[in-house]
Amino acid sequence: MKNPFAASLIALLIFVSAPAAEDGFQRLFNGRDLQGWDADPALWRVVDGVIVGVSEPGKPATNSFLIWNGTLRDFELRVTIRVIGDNNSGIQYRSRRRPEITPWTISGYQCDVHPVEVHTAMTYEERGRGIFGYNGMDVVMDPDGQRWLVRERPSVAADLSQWNEFTVLARGNRLEHRVNGRVTSVFVDHDAKNRALEGLLAIQLHAGVPHRTEVRDIRLKVLPATEPEPFDTAQLPAGARKIDKPKVVSAQGKTPPPPKKK
């Protein structure tokens, strides 16, 4: 005969020893498999409780993505991630599929997981408007697509070969990125024609220089929908100035890839 007291005690010990979930956050990775996600099975797998994407020469031929099976509007997202090898990754959000390219191609906003400091957690749009602001820059885009630099702060350094927590906070048309709790870039998008207020979440596996993208924790808090902030030039802070689109310093890692053979 089973001892009901012993069974209750075991259940209590399991409950007490389990890590408490942070208020309002849900874990999007179960630690075992890619349930709830869609990706090229030749590129992504789970190894010892970690999501691993492997990029080799020519494979993938173009950036490929691990895509979450859900649509998000306003949220806070925290991803613990690292990149082993001289390349980069990225956290896509409010994005959309591009099936005319591959089944796992994405375009949209990206928090860049990049080893070059100016690119680390910058605001960027994959297959779209490009870089909005480097690490250390807060940028407003007006309705005509003009970038305004409204604030500069010290950039945040991170060794991407180690585990770092990247945070994306999306509310209305205001997007904020952080690394290990420190703000890297804020972008306010008033370009109603080209912006997105909802869309897909995904993790990037970059083509090119061989590397591994590894993810061990993905936590999401869905926030109440917020209406986009209106644009008013008079509300720009003193010292705000127009800037050109920032240039790409390095398309992959810290070392530029060798030129392609003719």
Rounded distance between C-alpha atoms, residue 227 and residue 43, angstroms: 38
**Token couple for 86:** 């001289």
Q: What is the mean pLDDT of the chain?
A: 92
Say if residue 60 is preceded by a cis peptide, omega within 30 of 0. Answer: yes
Tell me: pLDDT of 184 over 70: yes
pLDDT digits (tens, 9 = 90+) for 214-239: 999 999 999 999 999 999 999 999 99
Closest CA to 124 of 239, 137, 229: 137
User: Is residue 33 situated within a structural domain?
Assistant: yes
Going from the C-alpha of 156 to that of each of 25, 162, 167, the distances in angstroms are: 25, 15, 13
**Token couple for 171:** 């509310």
How sure is the predictor about 172, in pLDDT bands with cuts at 50, 70 and 90?
Answer: very high
Higher pLDDT, 20 or 39: 39
Tell me: pLDDT of 101 over 80: yes
How sure is the predictor about 21, in pLDDT bands with cuts at 50, 70 and 90?
Answer: low
Number of domains the chain is built from: 1
User: Is residue 257 situated within a structural domain?
Assistant: no
Question: Among 14-18, 149-153, 182-186, 250-254, which stretch is predicted with the lowest mean pLDDT?
Answer: 14-18
User: Is residue 3 situated within a structural domain?
Assistant: no
pLDDT digits (tens, 9 = 90+) for 126-165: 999 999 999 999 999 999 999 999 999 999 999 999 999 9
How sure is the predictor about 12, in pLDDT bands with cuts at 50, 70 and 90?
Answer: very low
Q: What is the CATH number of the domain that holds 30?
A: 2.60.120.560
pLDDT digits (tens, 9 = 90+) for 29-53: 999 999 999 999 999 999 999 999 9
User: Is residue 240 situated within a structural domain?
Assistant: no
Judge contact between 184 and 156, C-beta under 8 A: yes
Number of H helices, E strands in the chain: 1, 18
Rounded distance between C-alpha atoms, residue 175 and residue 228, angstroms: 11
pLDDT attached to residue 17: 35
pLDDT attached to residue 255: 87
| Burial profile 172-193: b = 16 or more Cβ within 10 angstroms, e = fewer | bbbbbbbbeeebbbbbbbbbee
User: Is residue 76 situated within a structural domain?
Assistant: yes
Q: Which domain holds residue 207?
A: 21-222
